[in-house]
Structure 1
Amino acid sequence: MTTANQTTITVAAIVNAPVEKVWQYWTLPEHITQWCQASPDWHAPHAESDLRPGGKFVTTMAAKDGSVSFDFQGTYTEVQAPNVLAYNIVDGRRVHITFESKGDTTEITETFDPEGTNPLEMQRGGWQAILDNFKQYAESL
């Protein structure tokens, strides 16, 4: 999918954890499966990540009742541990994430190209919910 307009969506959170820990929890499959869902009735039963420019990733996102699932996948375009991660989703949309160290906390800013089906606010809400789940997970360990 090529985004005709130049609209992007940004979500952000401040995580009460140092940037190195945040980076590991964001990028390692064993952690991704613990936080990558937008609501309690979904989960991420599988994740793979070849964390390098040109490397592929896939996260299976599924309803816990088994009614539906899909693979969120793409290719990394930029990997600058522990501060920048960028990738292209398989449909061509771009995602750029920064992890800014603030001492014992980390500010995550995630900017992405929206898809053309759902309202922008719905997309922002879903991505923010996943980011909020990440924050809760990273702060609990």
Structure 2
Amino acid sequence: MEKNKITVQSTINADIQKVWTYWTSPEHIVNWNFASDDWHCPFAKNDVRTGGKFSSTMASKDGKMSFDFGGEYDEVVDQKKLAFTMADGRQVIVSFEDMGNNTTKVTEAFDAENTHSDEMQRAGWQAIVNNFKKYVEAA
């Protein structure tokens, strides 16, 4: 059975090198990798190379819920593309496009899971991308 693909994106007011660094560096990931202000990302590690693994912990600030998000990179093209397979087997492609004028478009396309509605998944992933945009542009 083919999985639904969901796409989220944002245009960031920053050059592609900064966007790439902030997306891939654990010291930055912990500052944006959550969907709402009542969650945080207390841990992240990232081996950005084909075959490299990554993991981050997303947790509610009240300590009642947490989960690890991780996987392995299938393809890494510096400042252009990250393709990876999540621990549950779903695939994700993140593209980085230099739009000129110090702006970068980030597009994430991912296999939907079967537990939550596509709309709920899209909203959650879009909220994380929006949080990334806010963090990068404030830095």
Give the alignment's Cα RMSD to 1 decimal: 0.6
Residue 6 of structure 1: CA displacement? 3.7
Which residue of the partner structure matches residue 128 of structure 1?
126
Which residue of the partner structure matches residue 113 of structure 2?
115
Which residue of the partner structure matches residue 83 of structure 1?
80
Residue 102 of structure 1: CA displacement? 1.1
Amino acid at match of 2:119: E
CA distance in 2, matches of 1:87, 1:74: 7
TM-score, length of structure 1 as denominator length: 0.96
Which one of the candidate residues 71, 90, 95 is aligned to 2:68? 71
Which residue of the partner structure matches residue 136 of structure 2?
138
Structure 1 residue runs of 5 or longer lacking an equivalent are none
Matches within 5 A, 1:9-88: 9-88=6-85
Runs of 4+ aligned structure 1 residues displaced above 2 Å come to: none
CA distance in 2, matches of 1:7, 1:127: 15
CA contact (8 A) 2:3 2:112 kept: no
Equivalent residue of 1:115, what SS? coil
Equivalent residue of 2:17, what SS? helix
Which has the larger strand fraction? 2
Which residue of the partner structure matches residue 106 of structure 1?
104
TM-score, length of structure 2 as denominator length: 0.98
CA distance in 2, matches of 1:36, 1:98: 17
**1:15-53 CA-partner distances (Å, limit 9, x unpaired):** 000000000000000000000000100000000011111
Tell me how many residue pairs correspond in the alignment: 138
Structure 2 residue runs of 5 or longer lacking an equivalent are none
